[in-house]
Amino acid sequence: MTKIADGSVFSDSKKHFEILDGLRGVAAILVVLFRILEVFSGGDHTKQLINHGYLAVDFFFLLSGFVIAYAYDDRWGRMTLSGFFKRRLIRLHPMIVVGMTIGAVCFYYGISEMFPVISGTPFWKMLLVMVLGWFLMPVPGSLDIRGWGEMYPLNGPAWSLFFEYIANLVYALVLRRLSNAIMWILVIISGAALIHLAVMSPIGDVIGGWSLEPAQLKIGFTRLAFPFLGGILLRRTFVGGKCSKAFLMSSILLVAVLAFPRVGDHETLWMNGIYDSLIIIVVFPVIVYIGANGRVKGDVAQRLCKLLGDISYPIYITHFPILYVFYAWVDKNKITMEDSVGTASLVFALCLIISYLSLKFYDVPVRKWLSKRFL
């Protein structure tokens, strides 16, 4: 049985990209740190610490395209469409249910001026949003129970899973059939669209995609298109080699680009847009290429990569409901970043603990049961 970087398991001798597992975990941890610090920026992106942590989503899309092409491109003679969708649902959906449930449990603890709608939300309405969230159904403005315009008010980051599901659907129905020449055309077009989005953005970055508003949907699809298509093409044109210290090199590079300070200022927002474009189009593929060409040596390093890979998705899909409560505490008590160090550290640790417990006592056994039952 061979496990690949997206967590799927098959009986064959395919290489396991251990370093890509580890990189997913590194990116997920950076997302949590980015979000914890975001509340202290006052909405001013130029003041945000770990400034480009939002690009982790684009890295996930690229990595997803790479590993899905690796896992499934050569299996369609032995696997049906229904088999593919079952595997993807079993891989992704159990933790979506957990994330929405945690969001519901934490919801009323987030009452503050930052979330103006919570206090007036009846319990039945919150439960309705939770159930819709279990099925990853985005909600309209009439069910915006937080006041931020999110398509998933109980767990905002689930928006990227909405686009991930769309990417999986398009891959299974269309992309897997396309030649590399056509893929190159699509990658170039989507890359140009991404650059236009980033450079012309009124906020100077690619942040967005979490709402059903047309402008936000446009951002979401643009952010999805290049990295996912690019990941597929990178896998198909991938030439294996050897890279020493690949995990160290790729991890340092990933942390550096996600934590890099804001480029430019309010008068030169386009400069940061160029930075975002270069990182997504050039640097992220290089990071994945390095990681895919490396080997992990030593038992400790292998266990670290495995742990990081295992908890990466649980971290990402469970952390934000906890941070909603943290945000409300900061807002209500006018807490400064300096005064929050102790609490913020505990919140960070809590996010990691909940993700690990969710993995071990829910996600792994549920996916095993579902695999035995439906695959």
Both tokens assigned to 290: 């390095």
Is the pLDDT at 337 greater than 70? The verdict is yes
Is the pLDDT at 18 greater than 90? The verdict is yes
Is the pLDDT at 228 greater than 70? The verdict is yes
Question: What b/e string do you get for 302-334 counting C-beta neighbours within 10 Å, with b at 16 or more?
Answer: bebbbebbbbbbbbbbbbbbbbbbbbbbbeeee
**Average pLDDT for the chain:** 94
Average pLDDT over residues 189-202: 97
Average pLDDT over residues 217-223: 98
Is the pLDDT at 11 greater than 50? The verdict is no
Q: What is the pLDDT of residues 125-168, one digit of tens each?
A: 999 999 999 999 999 999 999 999 999 999 999 999 999 999 99
Q: What's the rounded Cα separation, in Å, for the pair 219 and 215?
A: 6
Task: Give long-range contacts, CB 8 A cutoff, 24+ apart: 361-367.
Answer: 362/94, 362/98, 363/94, 363/95, 363/98, 363/314, 366/94, 367/90, 367/91, 367/94
* pLDDT for the residue 46: 82
What DSSP designation does 79 have?
-
Name the more confident of 298 and 1. 298
| E strand or H helix that includes residue 9 | strand 9-10
Q: What is the pLDDT of residues 20-68, one digit of tens each?
A: 999 999 999 999 999 999 999 887 888 888 999 999 999 999 999 999 9
Is the pLDDT at 13 greater than 70? The verdict is no
Average pLDDT over residues 200-222: 96
Q: What's the rounded Cα separation, in Å, for the pair 329 and 335?
A: 8
DSSP-assigned states of every residue in 145-164: SSSS--SSTT-GGGHHHHHH
Closest CA to 363 of 102, 152, 170: 102
Phi and psi at 328, nearest 5°, equal: -65, -40
Q: Which amino acid is at 69?
A: A
**In this structure, how many other beta carbons lie within 10 angstroms of the beta carbon of residue 345?**
11
* pLDDT for the residue 7: 52
The pTM of the full predicted model, rounded to 2 decimals, is 0.94
* pLDDT for the residue 145: 97
Is the pLDDT at 16 greater than 90? The verdict is no
Q: What is the pLDDT of residues 289-309, one digit of tens each?
A: 999 999 888 889 899 999 999
Q: What is the pLDDT of residues 82-97, one digit of tens each?
A: 999 999 999 999 999 9
